[in-house]
Amino acid sequence: MKQVIVVRNDVKMSAGKLAAQCCHASVSAALKSKKKILGEWAAAGQKKIILQSSLQEMLEAKQRCDRAKLVSFL
């Protein structure tokens, strides 16, 4: 099980601010998760994948997550 964090490739941020935004998204998504799923993810090592995309691609990914009933945070 992995958490995927997608960041916009058109917004200019320092490395520190980008890292902080990724952390905010990670924690927010984790807090929205069911305890069982969160526990499984934690037990599996809290794996994360960081990707870049355009705003449009990100919005489309959010819709796909919602349709699949996956926890997502935008």
Confidence at 3, pLDDT banded by 50, 70, 90 = very high
Residue 37: what pLDDT? Answer: 92
Q: Is the pTM of this model over 0.85?
A: no
Number of domains in the chain: 1
Q: Which residues span the domain enclosing 9?
A: 3-67
Q: Region 48-68: what's the mean pLDDT?
A: 94
Report the sign of the C-alpha dihedral through residues 18, 30, 68, 4, in that order: positive
Q: Region 9-26: what's the mean pLDDT?
A: 92
Residue 72 lies in a domain: no
Average pLDDT, the chain: 93
Strand blocks (E) in 1-74: 3-8, 48-53
Q: Find out whether 1 and 36 touch, Cβ atoms under 8 Å.
A: no
Residue 43 lies in a domain: yes
